[in-house]
Amino acid sequence: MLTDVECKNAVCPPDKVRIRKACSGGLYLEISNSGSKRWFWKFRRDSKEYRLALGSYPAVGAAAARKARDAAKVQKAEGLDPVQARKLGKLKEKINLSDSLKETALEWFEKHKSRWSESHTVREYRNLNKDLFPHLGDRKIGGIEPIELLAALRRVEARGAIDVAHRVLSTAGQVWRYAVATARAKRDITGDLKGALTPHKSKHFSAITDPIQLGQLIKAIRGYMGGPIVRSALKLAPILFQRPTELRAAAWGEFDLDNAIWKIPAARMKREKDGKENGDPHTVPLPRQAVAILKDLQGYSGHGTLLFPGERSHDRPISDNTLRAALQTLGYGSDKQSVHGFRATARTMLDEVLGVDPLLIEAQLAHAVKDANGRAYNRTQYIKQRAEMMQKWADYLDELTEINAVE
């Protein structure tokens, strides 16, 4: 067994590159002709010889080297590879500058926010900052128990925000999986909370899908006695069935009435950040009825930028509440028909009543779907077929209105 005095006095002969001085139990000190002295432990695994570096002398003395060797022996006895365990430890030291929930979550947030939309970024940060950090932020994420996370989520439920509680759990799941990937936590504990939260009720936008009732609604819209701006928006909503925000904020520069095309810029579409910045515009073929409404609307707002400018400021569009209130004055509250619900109305009736290919309907709705080969559907395809579909739909709405007029 080597002593510290022997280690200190050990030198490598000039005619050799390095020599080894055995200590005990496979431990030895390697002395090079440059003067460096390093500890190694020699061991066998699967009939092969390996060695594990245990540090340099004199930073690591003889007693400390034997202690490190004994710890490595325990790892080997437990079935671990001491060399791999050492590499893993170094990786953990490099990554785990901090392992609190807050710092782990913020690191995850910074790595992912560049691809998120602004609204999604705000929502994720709010979930962390409002509902997780105040209660668990300073705790080591690997030491947090499922019951503790559940307690934080129960506080969200207690204020009546059932849907928010589920979204906070979803955010927490992403943070915990990142913690596992970066060796801050052994496992994702959020899976243990499946079924522990109060079930949230799916909210669907009210939508009429009965032909007679739809005809009555279209007839009521065409008889709306409000201003021409709101009346035009109401007329176009069921015909074009785009999202309310996309319709309300429409600009004249997006329309080519001669070719009956509306191109909604990617930045205004419901997409992730990359899709908004680099995606193609969403093309909406315009049926004859929509073109007629738009040409009439030009006399009221064609001199400005927006199709549907607000009364207080022509630089801002009418609000979603404006259209909602207009429907209410016609007797169609949110329990009967919502503005967004016109999408569901068209989706259902184009498929079930008019027999249109669902692929074309989904493309018109700007939904990402897969083709027969599993590839993401290109929303700019099938313009001709979608133009025919849109004309068929507008004509059908006219027919429903005429039936109600006769009755």
381 and 246 belong to one structural domain: yes
Residues 154 and 31 in one domain: no
- In whole angstroms, what is the distance from residue 301 CA to residue 306 CA? 7
Residue 123 lies in a domain: yes
390 to each of 108, 234, 249, 283, 396, how far by Cα in Å? Answer: 44, 17, 21, 12, 10
Q: Are residues 246 and 338 in the same domain?
A: yes
- pLDDT, residue 68, reads 87
pLDDT at 378 over 80: no
Q: For residue 263, what pLDDT band results from cuts at 50, 70 and 90?
A: very high
What residue type is assigned to position 311 of the chain? E
Q: Which of 263-272, 343-352, 390-399 has the lowest mean pLDDT?
A: 263-272
Same domain, 220 and 350: yes
CATH, residue 33: 3.30.160.390
Whole-structure pTM value? 0.58
pLDDT band at 278 (very low <50, low <70, confident <90, very high): confident
Residues 171 and 234 in one domain: no
**What phi-psi label fits residue 333: left (phi over 0), alpha (psi between -120 and 50 degrees) or beta?**
beta
Verify that 180 and 236 share a domain, yes or no: no
Identify whether residues 297 and 390 lie together within a single domain. Answer: yes
Spatial neighbors of 25 by CB under 8 A, at least 6 apart, are 41, 66, 69, 70, 73
Give all strands of the β-sheet with 27-32 in edge-to-edge order: 18-22, 27-32, 37-45, 48-56
CATH number of the CATH domain containing 382: 1.10.443.10
pLDDT at 393: 96
Domain that holds residue 144: 101-193
- Asked whether the predicted pLDDT for residue 406 surpasses 50, the reply is no
The answer, yes or no, to whether residue 379 has pLDDT greater than 70, is no
Domain ends where: 62, 95, 128?
95
Residue 198 lies in a domain: no
Cα separation of 92 and 90, whole Å? 5
* CA atoms of 110 and 107, how far apart (whole Å): 5
State mean pLDDT over 289-304: 95
Residue 54 sits in the same domain as residue 115: no
- How many C-beta atoms lie closer than 10 Å to residue 217's C-beta? 25
* Six-digit token string for 103: 């710092």
Whether the Cβ atoms of residue 319 and residue 331 lie closer than 8 Å to each other: no
Is 60 exceeded by the pLDDT of residue 256? Answer: yes
Cα 7 to chain center, whole Å? 59
